[in-house]
């Protein structure tokens, strides 16, 4: 890598006049390819370093006991297996958490959907109740108009009754007056008849 950095810091090749041979042009192209390769290698090393840093940051810290001086390759393999098992357990635990979270989200979505259906049913019932109240308002208005007509008819009937009573009283008075006149005429006719009988008898 120091060699790579040293080569990358070298000044680029100077432009060659067109009258130089082909091998000089090929050398310039090779130098350009080497420079591009060094740049790509730098970017790759940088990305690899960032990936290693991120992996270190996200990898859970697993404390390990101090190994004795007789630490063998087989024990190192066992430790590696344990580390892999722990990582597998951690991955399985994360997977279970994700599944549990998905189930909880699905359950909440089902509850929300059920509540939305209930709200829609309530809105529909409210609309039906509003229609019923509108119908009742129309009926009440019609009944009010009918009651007004009945009241008007009652008033007209009362006035007609009062007028009929007045006419009956007047007719009764007229009848009494006619009866008194007939009695008076009858008495006068009787007196005249008695006088005529007395004169004829004398």
Tell me the backbone φ, ψ of residue 129, rounded to 5 degrees.
-65, -40
pTM of the full predicted structure?
0.32
What pLDDT sits at residue 92? 84
Q: Is the pLDDT of residue 142 over 80?
A: yes
What pLDDT sits at residue 68? 46
Per residue in 152-178, pLDDT (tens digit) is 888 888 888 888 888 888 887 887 777
Per residue in 184-194, pLDDT (tens digit) is 888 888 888 88
Q: Which residue has the higher pLDDT, 30 or 189?
A: 189
Q: Is the pLDDT of residue 6 over 50?
A: no
Per residue in 52-78, pLDDT (tens digit) is 776 665 454 444 444 444 445 555 555
pLDDT band at 197 (very low <50, low <70, confident <90, very high): confident
Average pLDDT over the chain reads 74
Q: Are 35 and 8 in contact (CB under 8 A)?
A: yes
In the numeric block, the tokens 């990358």 are attached to 8
* CA distance linking residue 200 with residue 31, whole number of Å: 188
* CA distance linking residue 46 with residue 53, whole number of Å: 11
H-helix segments, 9-72? 22-58
Q: Is the pLDDT of residue 7 over 50?
A: no
Handedness of CA 80, 85, 89, 95 (dihedral sign): positive
* CA distance linking residue 115 with residue 92, whole number of Å: 34
* CA distance linking residue 88 with residue 35, whole number of Å: 43
């Amino acid at each position: 890598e120091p060699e790579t950095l040293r080569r990358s810091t070298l000044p680029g090749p100077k432009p060659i006049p067109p009258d130089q041979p082909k091998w000089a042009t090929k050398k310039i192209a090779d130098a350009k390819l080497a420079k591009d390769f060094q740049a790509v290698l730098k970017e790759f090393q940088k990305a690899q370093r960032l990936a290693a840093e991120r992996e270190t940051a996200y990898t859970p810290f697993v404390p390990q006991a101090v190994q004795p001086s007789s630490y063998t390759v087989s024990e190192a393999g066992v430790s590696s297996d344990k580390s892999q098992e722990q990582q597998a357990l951690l991955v399985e635990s994360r997977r279970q958490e994700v599944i549990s979270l998905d189930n909880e989200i699905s359950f909440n979505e089902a509850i929300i959907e059920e509540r939305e259906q209930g709200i829609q049913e309530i809105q529909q019932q409210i609309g039906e109740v509003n229609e019923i109240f509108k119908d009742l308002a129309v009926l009440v208005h019609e009944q009010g108009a009918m009651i007004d007509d009945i009241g008007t008819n009652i008033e007209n009937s009362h006035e007609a009754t009062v007028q009929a009573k007045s006419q009956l009283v007047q007719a009764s008075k007229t009848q009494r007056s006619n009866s008194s006149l007939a009695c008076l005429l009858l008495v006068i006719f009787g007196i005249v008849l008695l006088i005529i009988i007395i004169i004829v008898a004398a």
